[in-house]
Amino acid sequence: MNWVEFKRKKLEILERAKEKREVDEDIIPLLDTINSFDCFVTTSSCSGRIVVLDVPKIGDKLNAKFLGKWHRTVDWKEVAKALEKSTSTTWLISDPPIVHVACRDLECARILMRIANESGFRRCGIISLNRFVVEITSFEKLEAPLAVNGKIVVDEGYIKLLTDFANEKLLRGKEKLERLKSKLSSRKSFLRAL
């Protein structure tokens, strides 16, 4: 499949996902900006999230269960409520944004990585060489246990504190997305010419 066709198919998938409201709203303006350049097309992306995750065994993603998942800041009571459903080891996790962008060629990937780095995303890399997929992400992370064997191990005060930090980290990630969008827009004519 050539690049133009590949990009068209990816955009169709994105449009269908948008219609079904499956795309994290906060990231849509950035995705639209990236996709406005011929040499890039976004694939799965997330603006960052806060989750309450029940994990039977460390690393066992297959059997992990979301007790709560938000792409926005949360109130500590929402976390506490999700935690009530704990059955095993439950974690509060704040994940940074992850943006995936397929690039037409290696040079375009190099340029995108540089711009993302300058926007504060310190963790950028080409994760697939088939379509030169650049992963753009950063280090804002919180990952703390809330319950073990379904038994809550933190008090209300600590849940509030963790929630505050989780929110702060989430917002920092979202600021970086804004910065990336601005930087791409400010180099519009350069990127259009690629």
3-state secondary structure of 57: coil
Does 135 contact a copy of itself by CB under 8 A?
yes
Separation CA 170–CA 138 (nearest Å): 11
Does 18 contact a copy of itself by CB under 8 A?
no
Per-position DSSP letters for 78-147, written without gaps between them: HHHHHHTT--SEEEEEEEPPEEEEEESSHHHHHHHHHHHHHTT--EEEEEETTTTEEEEE----EEEEEE
Does 152 contact a copy of itself by CB under 8 A?
no
Task: Tell me the closest approach of the beta carbon of residue 30 to a copy of itself, in angstroms.
Answer: 20
Task: Tell me the closest approach of the beta carbon of residue 86 to a copy of itself, in angstroms.
Answer: 14
Q: Counting every residue, how long is the chain?
A: 194
Separation CA 82–CA 86 (nearest Å): 8
Going residue by residue from 87 to 126, which x/- string records binding to a copy of itself, judged by CB under 8 A? -------------------x--xx--x---------xxxx
Separation CA 103–CA 6 (nearest Å): 11
Going residue by residue from 48 to 87, which x/- string records binding to a copy of itself, judged by CB under 8 A? ----------xx----------------------------
3-state secondary structure of 148: strand
The size of the interface with a copy of itself (CB under 8 A), counted in residues, is 30
* Interacting residues with a copy of itself (CB under 8 A): 58-59, 106, 109-110, 113, 123-127, 129, 135, 140-145, 148, 153-154, 157-158, 161-162, 165, 168-169, 172
